[in-house]
């Protein structure tokens, strides 16, 4: 527990202008074009091509480590701007690295067009395009995760469903990621200490464990080589530098990289740079999706405190170094093919930083660094890192709570808020030790991890619940795929006697779809184990070094797989609509309802109005008492928890959607709740737009879902028109606190009006860098596609002056 020594927790005297160079670094990073970088793909592929496939498959750990070593030790040391921290994810200021092991091949047909496309172009040089086309992609054509899975298991149903894109997304095709590493050990001891341990253990270990330790040792040495190369490069540039101040910065950088990450961090600056270099190392091995730095205000605090106490560091310097790290975390984005751009565009890589909350012993963990990180977030207003603030009512101070709300008011979007009481209870219920649960951090969007201890692969499955609903409506088929039979034949709804029979059919289809997604996840996991072990990431975790086992083999202290859901609110409302229209009111027959849904409610205005206005709506008290929401949450929880994954952990349901609610909505036909074809679904765990006119009722209905059944995390989006004063920020805090008391786990805000967002859509040039919350992470409004923009515009909006829903007159 730390004492707050800052006289002003708002740090009001600091601005973007008076922090050295930060404003310029921010501007440069925001303006920088995304450049596709093939360096990693080149060195990894080159190594693999030189070696015999059978041999590699027999010793995947060693070969993976050698490939990663090959890349890291050759990786070009680049110093692209005046950031105080050394190291870049790719060879440019802002890069999209290529991971051909995963979905990197999806841009193969776009090599000529990707640089010039209208929306979010990613620049590729002629030379690099040729490397991809002739040297890199041909090797992977039958070797990436999906191709390997198909080769091994054939074109099985779970694969067919994945390739249709309208049932579920399988995270494993695209990543080993979505996790929070442990930086405490590397900071305190340095990588050399971990290497020593690995080398010692390798001597006496059993053969399969020996390979793991050898792999760890080699991969970590690769990262040290990279740091050494950076150090030499900084030294070289310093010699040629005429500006005295800049030369000193470069010399300092050279000195830092000659020490970390090999040796223990001796200062706050070294600690911050060490974490950044480790993230680069992790991304050399694993794709840049939601590798989350975790509780940096806790991890970095001892180094901050020591330097402050000894007078080596000032608050201003701490702000500058933190800002440098924040800007660096946005130096990489995902490689995005056109089709993903249309459906899911605008996504960042969601590196989640978590601040505040309580410590392992249950004491207030908020410290000076927490406020420094909040201040940097407030000043930068950038998409990365994805900022999350934990709040433990009764332990954390009201000043802290209100300060977080002020930052939300001024960034209009971040941080997201997390309820310690519910989240810790939920993790303990999943078998986590209480003190480990108290040390939770957010992964990527909103998922919960015991930082550095649990490997949760939290985006293993993204399941479209509307797919299961449609299969219940169409006897195992989907509207858009016509006569193709997918799910079991659960019967023609028109012959069903009561609502329970339909609900059973829906549950059968849901359980079937989950079984397919889980089956595919397990099969792809086996491919990962054969191809893509993670010795470098494993070394930065608690568990693998003790067990002698890689993360993908279950090395972490805790294990789970996450499955998130798209379309929750629309499906709940649709179930309620079927119940009301067909069975309770007998307003129409099931056949008539289905006919209307099939024809997208064309010429069925009254039925459409009835379906939209009369049934119970998720987000209201009555629904949570008598509707289907709580039953569905519980059903999904019980279904997933029935599965144990390849690492011995349980599957955990979650409710966050990134931009998938817009993307999946676009390819899903009309639903019984009156949602028209191709419209976006409601996001995350959020009620359908304008279903909940009373904000407190909305909060209570989400809280009533019971957090124990949502172990994977949830994203609730709430939009307020404007917050204009500190007093209003306190009211925001009050709403959040009461919502947390009623059982809520998470909430995130957009502070913007219908009019302002419409104006931003019409005149993007007036709103450069407008930050918005999508579902779980932030995005720049201008990067989003039109459908996602519309979803944001039409979200329920409340006024903080009166608490009323603001009507959308457009």
Q: Applying CB under 8 A, which residues contact other proteins?
A: 605-607, 609-610, 613-614, 621, 694-697, 699-700, 731, 734-735, 737-738, 741-742, 798, 800-804
Q: How far is the CB of 803 from other proteins (least distance, A)?
A: 4
Q: What is the dihedral of CA 733, 735, 741, 745, to 10 degrees?
A: -80
Cβ neighbours around 208 below 10 Å, total: 13
**Shorter beta-carbon distance to other proteins: residue 213 or 798:** 798
User: 461 pairs with which residues across the strands?
Assistant: 170, 563
Q: How far is the CB of 617 from other proteins (least distance, A)?
A: 12
**Shorter beta-carbon distance to other proteins: residue 123 or 805:** 805
**Shorter beta-carbon distance to other proteins: residue 314 or 801:** 801
Tokens 């027959």 sit on residue: 589
Inter-CA distances, 217 with 40, 185, 214, Å: 20, 15, 5
Q: How far is the CB of 736 from other proteins (least distance, A)?
A: 9
**Shorter beta-carbon distance to other proteins: residue 491 or 799:** 799
Q: How far is the CB of 622 from other proteins (least distance, A)?
A: 11
**Shorter beta-carbon distance to other proteins: residue 312 or 398:** 398
Contact 469, 325 (CB under 8 A): no
Q: How far is the CB of 793 from other proteins (least distance, A)?
A: 22
**Shorter beta-carbon distance to other proteins: residue 437 or 582:** 582
**Shorter beta-carbon distance to other proteins: residue 263 or 614:** 614
Contact 215, 61 (CB under 8 A): yes
**Shorter beta-carbon distance to other proteins: residue 42 or 735:** 735
Q: How far is the CB of 802 from other proteins (least distance, A)?
A: 5
Q: How far is the CB of 727 from other proteins (least distance, A)?
A: 11
User: 441 pairs with which residues across the strands?
Assistant: 449
3-state secondary structure of 37: strand
Inter-CA distances, 580 with 328, 346, 576, Å: 53, 38, 6
Cβ neighbours around 361 below 10 Å, total: 11
Q: How far is the CB of 740 from other proteins (least distance, A)?
A: 9
Inter-CA distances, 605 with 321, 597, 611, 654, Å: 59, 12, 10, 35
**Shorter beta-carbon distance to other proteins: residue 268 or 610:** 610
Q: How far is the CB of 606 from other proteins (least distance, A)?
A: 4
3-state secondary structure of 19: coil
Q: How far is the CB of 754 from other proteins (least distance, A)?
A: 19
**Shorter beta-carbon distance to other proteins: residue 126 or 804:** 804
> Measured on CA atoms in the order 366, 369, 371, 375, is the torsion positive or negative?
negative
Contact 303, 267 (CB under 8 A): yes
Q: How far is the CB of 618 from other proteins (least distance, A)?
A: 16
Q: How far is the CB of 741 from other proteins (least distance, A)?
A: 4
Q: How far is the CB of 697 from other proteins (least distance, A)?
A: 6
My answer on whether omega of the bond before 132 falls inside 30° of 0, hence cis, is no
Burial class (CB in 10 A: 0-12, 13-18, 19+), 730: middle
**Shorter beta-carbon distance to other proteins: residue 46 or 742:** 742
Q: How far is the CB of 700 from other proteins (least distance, A)?
A: 7
**Shorter beta-carbon distance to other proteins: residue 648 or 803:** 803
**Shorter beta-carbon distance to other proteins: residue 272 or 607:** 607
CA atoms within 13 A on the CB side of 358: 20
Q: How far is the CB of 804 from other proteins (least distance, A)?
A: 7
**CA pair distance 505, 128, nearest whole angstrom:** 52
3-state secondary structure of 461: strand
**Shorter beta-carbon distance to other proteins: residue 188 or 609:** 609
**Shorter beta-carbon distance to other proteins: residue 10 or 614:** 614
The tokens of 611 are what? 């379906």
Contact 258, 249 (CB under 8 A): no
Q: How far is the CB of 610 from other proteins (least distance, A)?
A: 4
Q: How far is the CB of 578 from other proteins (least distance, A)?
A: 16
**CA pair distance 569, 715, nearest whole angstrom:** 12
Q: How far is the CB of 695 from other proteins (least distance, A)?
A: 4
For 47-113, what is the HEC assignment? Answer: HHHCCCHHHHHHCHHHHHHHHHHHHHHHCCCCCCCCCCCCCCCCCCCCEEECCCCCCHHHHHHHCCC
3-state secondary structure of 179: strand
**CA pair distance 166, 650, nearest whole angstrom:** 25
Cβ neighbours around 722 below 10 Å, total: 15
Contact 482, 747 (CB under 8 A): no
Q: Which residues contact 268 (CB under 8 A, 6 or more apart)?
A: 300, 303, 304, 306, 307, 312, 313, 317, 318, 321
Closest CA to 685 of 750, 607, 632, 610: 632
**Shorter beta-carbon distance to other proteins: residue 164 or 741:** 741
**Shorter beta-carbon distance to other proteins: residue 147 or 731:** 731
What are the strands of the beta sheet with 717-720, ordered from one edge? 352-356, 386-391, 416-419, 746-751, 717-720, 797-798
Q: For 93, phi and psi rounded to 5 degrees?
A: -60, -45
Contact 777, 386 (CB under 8 A): yes
Rounded to 5 degrees, what angle do the CA atoms 186, 99, 774 make?
A: 80
**Shorter beta-carbon distance to other proteins: residue 245 or 802:** 802
**CA pair distance 137, 133, nearest whole angstrom:** 6
Closest CA to 522 of 81, 170, 229: 170
Query: What is the pairing mode between strands 797-798 and 717-720?
Result: parallel
């Amino acid at each position: 527990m730390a004492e707050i020594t800052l006289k002003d927790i708002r740090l009001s005297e600091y601005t973007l202008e008076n922090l050295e160079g930060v404003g310029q670094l921010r501007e440069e990073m925001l303006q920088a074009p995304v450049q596709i970088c093939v360096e990693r793909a080149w060195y990894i592929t080159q190594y693999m091509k030189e070696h015999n496939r059978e041999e590699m498959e027999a010793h995947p750990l060693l070969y993976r480590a050698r490939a990663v070593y090959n890349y890291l030790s050759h990786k070009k040391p680049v110093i692209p701007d005046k950031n105080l921290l050394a190291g870049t994810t790719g060879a440019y200021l802002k890069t999209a690295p290529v991971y051909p092991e995963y979905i990197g091949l999806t841009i193969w047909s776009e090599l000529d067009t990707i640089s010039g496309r209208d929306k979010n172009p990613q620049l590729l040089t002629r030379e690099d395009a040729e490397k991809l086309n002739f040297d890199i992609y041909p090797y992977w054509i039958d070797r990436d995760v999906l191709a390997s899975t198909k080769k091994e298991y054939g074109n099985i149903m779970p694969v067919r469903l994945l390739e249709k894109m309208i049932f579920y997304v399988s995270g494993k095709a695209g990543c080993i990621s979505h996790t929070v590493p442990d930086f405490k050990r590397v900071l305190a001891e340095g990588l050399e200490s971990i290497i020593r341990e690995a080398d010692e253990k390798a001597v006496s270990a059993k053969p399969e464990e020996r390979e793991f330790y050898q792999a760890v040792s080699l991969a970590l040495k690769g990262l040290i080589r990279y740091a050494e190369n950076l150090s030499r490069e900084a030294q070289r540039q310093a010699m040629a530098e005429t500006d005295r101040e800049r030369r000193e910065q470069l010399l300092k950088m050279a000195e830092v990289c000659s020490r970390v990450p090999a040796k223990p961090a001796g200062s706050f600056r070294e600690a911050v740079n060490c974490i950044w270099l480790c993230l680069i190392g992790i991304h050399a091995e694993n794709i840049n999706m939601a590798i989350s730095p975790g509780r940096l205000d806790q991890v970095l605090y001892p180094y901050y405190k020591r330097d402050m106490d000894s007078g080596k560091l000032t608050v201003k310097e701490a702000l500058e170094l933190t800002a440098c790290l924040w800007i660096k975390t946005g130096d990489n984005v995902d490689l995005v093919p056109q089709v993903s751009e249309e459906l899911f565009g605008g996504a960042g890589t969601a590196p989640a930083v978590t601040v505040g909350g309580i410590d392992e012993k249950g004491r207030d963990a908020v410290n000076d660094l927490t406020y420094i990180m909040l201040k940097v977030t407030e000043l930068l207003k950038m998409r990365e890192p994805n900022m999350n603030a934990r709040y433990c009512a009764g332990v954390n101070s009201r000043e802290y709570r209100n300060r977080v709300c002020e930052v939300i008011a001024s960034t209009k979007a971040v941080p997201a808020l997390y309820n310690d009481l519910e989240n810790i209870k939920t993790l303990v219920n999943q078998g986590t030790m209480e003190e480990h649960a108290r040390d939770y951090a957010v992964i990527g969007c909103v998922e919960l991890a015991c930082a550095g201890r649990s490997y949760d692969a939290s985006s293993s499955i993204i399941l479209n619940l509307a797919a299961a609903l449609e299969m219940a409506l169409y006897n195992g088929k989907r509207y858009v795929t016509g006569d193709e039979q997918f799910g079991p034949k659960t019967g023609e709804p028109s012959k069903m006697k009561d609502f329970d029979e339909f609900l059973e059919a829906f549950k059968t289809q849901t359980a079937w779809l989950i079984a397919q997604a889980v089956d595919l996840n397990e099969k792809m996991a086996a491919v990962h184990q054969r191809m893509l072990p993670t010795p470098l990431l494993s070394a930065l975790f608690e568990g693998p070094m003790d067990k002698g086992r890689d993360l993908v083999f279950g090395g972490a202290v805790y294990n789970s797989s996450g499955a998130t859901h798209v379309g929750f609110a629309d499906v709940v409302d649709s179930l309620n609509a079927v119940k009301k229209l067909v069975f309770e009111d007998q307003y129409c027959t099931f056949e008539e309802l289905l006919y209307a849904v099939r024809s997208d409610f064309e010429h069925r205005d009254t039925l459409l109005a009835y379906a939209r206005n009369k049934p119970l709506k998720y987000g209201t008290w009555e629904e949570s008492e008598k509707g289907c929401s709580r039953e569905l949450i519980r059903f999904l929880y019980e279904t997933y928890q029935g599965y144990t994954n390849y690492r011995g952990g349980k599957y955990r349901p979650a409710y966050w959607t990134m931009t998938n609610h817009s993307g999946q909505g676009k390819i899903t036909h009309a639903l019984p709740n009156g949602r028209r074809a191709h419209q976006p679904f409601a996001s995350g765990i959020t009620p359908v737009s304008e279903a909940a006119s009373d904000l407190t009722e909305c909060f209570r209905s989400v809280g009533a879902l019971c957090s124990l059944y949502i172990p994977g995390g949830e994203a609730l989006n709430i939009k307020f028109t404007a917050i204009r004063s500190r007093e209003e920020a306190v009211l925001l805090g009050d709403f959040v606190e009461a919502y947390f008391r009623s059982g809520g786990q998470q909430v995130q805000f957009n502070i913007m009006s219908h009019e302002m967002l419409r104006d931003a859509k019409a005149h993007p040039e007036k709103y450069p860098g407008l930050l918005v919350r999508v579902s779980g992470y932030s995005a720049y409004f201008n990067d989003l596609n039109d459908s996602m923009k519309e979803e944001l515009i039409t979200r329920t909006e409340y006024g903080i002056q009166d608490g009323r829903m603001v009507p959308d007159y457009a």
